[in-house]
Chain A
C-alpha cells in the first residue's frame, strides 16, 4: 500500500458514497446520495462506488445500490460492524479510503453520519463540509444553478475553472448561501441532509451490472473504545415529515390555546392527508416533540402543500420549507416574513380560519 498523503490530490479518483445501514437495511439517504453521486461521477468521467459496513447484509440489498447508480459496491463485513460504533466504522472506512483513494466521499447527515464524517475527515487530514444542499463539479452546471438560486450576475462574474467539488450549504441560518471547496486535500468530503437530494428511479440494469467487492476487514474488538449496551427504538412511531406530501405546521400563534391549536391543525392535516409539523418555538415550549420540527435545526421538507399556521417565518424555519411546491400561510400579522415566501397568504386569526379551511376542503373532497 502506497503511503497515504491527503495533499497528493492527483492520486485520488472516483466518487464514493457511504451507504448507511441500520439493522441490515440500507437507509434511504443512501439512495439519494447515490443518485447525486452518479451525476458527479458522470461529469468527472469516473466510477461511483457505494461503501457498506455491516454484518451479514443481504446480497440483494448490496446489489440494489447499483440500481441507484453505483458501479461498484465495497462491502465490509464483520460482526463488529453490525451496529455503528465511531471507532470501528472510522477505522474500517479510513483504511479503505487510504487504500483506494477516492476523490469525493459523501456521507448522509444522519445522527450517525454526523458522528462519523468529522472523525474520518480529521483522521484523513482533509476538509469536510456539513449539511450540503447542492453539489457540483462542473463550473458550467454550477453557473446554471446560481442563475436560479442566487442574486449573482452570473454572466458578468469570473469563475475559476476547475473540477473541485463545489459544496453549497446555507450559512448563518440561511441568510447566506456559501459554496465551499476543498482544493488542496483529498478526498473532498461532504455530509448531505436527508431529504435534500432527489432519488432517481431504480434501474434494474444498473443493479444487475454492479460489482460487489467484499473487503477484508482488519478490526479487533480492542480497536473499539465504546461498548454498545442497548439500542432502543422509540415506542412511538416517528413522524415522516420528509416523505410527506402535505405538511400542516403550527407556530407560536397557537400559544393562546396550544391544545386547541394542535387539534385544529391535526384536523386540517387529516383533511388534506398530511402530517403535522411545527416551528422551533413549538418544540421549545414543549407542545410537540422535536421530530415534528421543520427548519434549519429540524427537518427539511418539500411537500406539495405546506400550510403555515401562526408561524412568523423566521429565516431558520424558511430554510426547511421554502422549496415546498405550494405554501399557504395564515398569520394575524400582515408583516410576518412567512408571507414573503407564501404562494397564498391570509391575514387573520388561525383559530377562526383553520376550521373554515378544514370544512371547505372536506366539502370539495366530498363532492368528488
Chain B
C-alpha cells in the first residue's frame, strides 16, 4: 500500500503581500510555504504510514525551487518525492495541471490498495478543482473536504464537511481524497528526518519524462493548451477613503450614530 500526496508550494499571503507596479503579486519577493490543506494531506498520509508502514510519495508540480519544500516533506517522514517541472507545463490552468499530475501519478503507478491525497484547495488560487480533476483523469472515486479519515483494509471511511454539517462516506481503495486543514495538526520535521532527507530519492519528471503518458494530451497543457485563458486582468480601483472621525470618545461615537441615523441606516 502507498499514499501519493499532491502538494503545492504557494506564496505566504498571511504576512506582507508584495505587489508589483502593475498591481500583480510579486511572487519572487514573497516567502513561500507549503499549502496548508496540502500539509494536512501529508500528515494524514504519515499517520497512515505510522499505523500500517505504507509508503508515502509526495508529488508537486512547480518550478525547481519547489524541491526545497519536497525535502521538508521528506524530513517530516515521506519516503520519496517527485517534482514535475518543465517550461512546457508553465501557465497551465486547472484542467491542464490535473492532466499533467494525473499523468505523473499514473507513471508512479496506482495499485489497488493505494490512496491519493490532495489538499482541498491552494491559498493562491482557491479553486479546489485540481483534486477532483485528477480523480476524474485517473478514474478514481473521490471524496473532497475530508475532516476525518479512517482506513480499514481497503475500505476508507471519510467525514466530508458540508456547510451546515457533514456526510459520512465509505469508499474503497484506490481512491482520491482532498483534505481540509482541520483534519489534523501536521507534525514538525524531525532532526533525524532532516539529516536523512537529502539521501531520500527525489525524481524530477520533466516534459520528456511525461510526454508519452497516455493521460497527457500535449495539445491541452501549458499556457497555450489550457482550455481557459485570461481575457483581461485588472486592478480593482482603490475605494475612496471615507470619513475619519477624530477622537475616540463619546462625542465621536455620538457623531457617528447621528450620521447613521440621518442616513436611515439604523
**Chain A residues engaging chain B, CB cutoff 8 angstroms:** 83, 86-87, 90, 110-112, 114-115, 117-119, 121-123, 125-131, 146, 149-152, 159-160, 164, 166, 171-185, 225-234, 238, 272, 290-291, 296-297, 304-305, 314-316, 322, 325-328, 330, 339-349, 352-353, 356-357, 360-361, 363-365
B contact residues around A151 at 8 Å (CB): 23, 234-237
Flag the segment in B61-69, B186-194, B198-206, B254-262 that touches A.
B254-262
Asked if B230 CB lies within 8 Å of chain A CBs, one says yes
Flag the segment in B1-9, B45-53, B73-81, B92-100 that touches A.
B92-100
- CB pair B257–A231 under 8 Å, yes or no, is no
Closest residue of B by beta carbon distance from A281: B14
The bracket for how many chain B residues form the interface is 35 or more
**CB-defined interface of B1-29 with A at 8 Å, one 1/0 digit per residue?**
00000000000011001010001110000
B contact residues around A340 at 8 Å (CB): 238-239, 241
Main secondary structure on B side of the interface with A: mixed
B contact residues around A365 at 8 Å (CB): 266
- The residue that A121 contacts in the complex, of B95, B124, B238, B249, with Cβ under 8 A, is B95
- CB pair A305–B260 under 8 Å, yes or no, is yes
- The residue that A176 contacts in the complex, of B128, B130, B235, with Cβ under 8 A, is B235
A345 to B9, CA, bound (A): 37
A contact residues around B166 at 8 Å (CB): 231-232, 234
14 contacts between A and B (CB under 8 A): A118-B136, A122-B98, A123-B136, A146-B232, A152-B232, A174-B236, A177-B235, A228-B169, A290-B182, A297-B126, A339-B244, A349-B248, A356-B253, A360-B256
B contact residues around A363 at 8 Å (CB): 257
- CB pair A233–B253 under 8 Å, yes or no, is no
- CB pair B144–A114 under 8 Å, yes or no, is yes
- CB pair B161–A226 under 8 Å, yes or no, is no
- CB pair A150–B237 under 8 Å, yes or no, is yes
A49 to B220, CA, bound (A): 29
Closest residue of A by beta carbon distance from B19: A175
- CB pair B164–A361 under 8 Å, yes or no, is no
Give how many A-B residue pairs fall within 8 Å (CB-CB).
262
A229–chain B nearest beta-carbon distance, Å = 4
- CB pair B253–A353 under 8 Å, yes or no, is yes
- CB pair B175–A130 under 8 Å, yes or no, is no
- CB pair A234–B141 under 8 Å, yes or no, is no
Asked if B153 CB lies within 8 Å of chain A CBs, one says no
A209–chain B nearest beta-carbon distance, Å = 32
Asked if B151 CB lies within 8 Å of chain A CBs, one says no
- The residue that A127 contacts in the complex, of B25, B93, B235, with Cβ under 8 A, is B93
**CB-defined interface of B188-231 with A at 8 Å, one 1/0 digit per residue?**
00000000000000000000000000000000100000111111
A175 to B175, CA, bound (A): 36
**Chain B residues engaging chain A, CB cutoff 8 angstroms:** 13-14, 17, 19, 23-25, 93-95, 98, 123-133, 135-137, 141-145, 157, 161-172, 175, 182, 220, 226-239, 241-245, 247-250, 252-254, 256-257, 259-261, 263, 265-266
A contact residues around B233 at 8 Å (CB): 171, 176-179
B115–chain A nearest beta-carbon distance, Å = 13
A161–chain B nearest beta-carbon distance, Å = 12
Name 20 extra pairs, CB < 8 A, besides A180-B230, A225-B141.
Answer: A112-B162, A119-B132, A122-B133, A128-B94, A150-B236, A171-B233, A173-B13, A175-B235, A177-B235, A178-B230, A228-B167, A228-B168, A234-B165, A322-B239, A326-B265, A339-B242, A343-B242, A353-B253, A356-B250, A361-B257
Closest residue of B by beta carbon distance from A129: B228
Known contacts A127-B95, A127-B228, A179-B230, A326 near B248 by CB under 8 Å = no
- CB pair A226–B94 under 8 Å, yes or no, is no
B contact residues around A343 at 8 Å (CB): 242-243
Known contacts A115-B142, A122-B132, A227 near B259 by CB under 8 Å = no
B contact residues around A233 at 8 Å (CB): 164-165
A347–chain B nearest beta-carbon distance, Å = 6
B contact residues around A228 at 8 Å (CB): 167-169
B contact residues around A364 at 8 Å (CB): 257, 261, 266
Known contacts A172-B25, A327-B242, A131 near B126 by CB under 8 Å = yes
A231 to B220, CA, bound (A): 38
From B126, B227, B250, name the one whose CB has the most chain A CB atoms within 10 angstroms: B227
- CB pair B129–A229 under 8 Å, yes or no, is no
A293–chain B nearest beta-carbon distance, Å = 12
Closest residue of B by beta carbon distance from A130: B127
- CB pair A118–B133 under 8 Å, yes or no, is yes
- CB pair B175–A345 under 8 Å, yes or no, is no
A232 to B238, CA, bound (A): 43
B contact residues around A177 at 8 Å (CB): 233-236
B contact residues around A117 at 8 Å (CB): 129, 132
A contact residues around B168 at 8 Å (CB): 228-232
B151–chain A nearest beta-carbon distance, Å = 15
- CB pair B231–A229 under 8 Å, yes or no, is no
A contact residues around B265 at 8 Å (CB): 304-305, 325-326
B contact residues around A131 at 8 Å (CB): 126-127
A176 to B166, CA, bound (A): 33
A223–chain B nearest beta-carbon distance, Å = 10
- The residue that A238 contacts in the complex, of B95, B130, B164, with Cβ under 8 A, is B164
- CB pair A176–B24 under 8 Å, yes or no, is yes
Closest residue of A by beta carbon distance from B18: A175
Closest residue of A by beta carbon distance from B169: A226
A9–chain B nearest beta-carbon distance, Å = 11
B187–chain A nearest beta-carbon distance, Å = 19
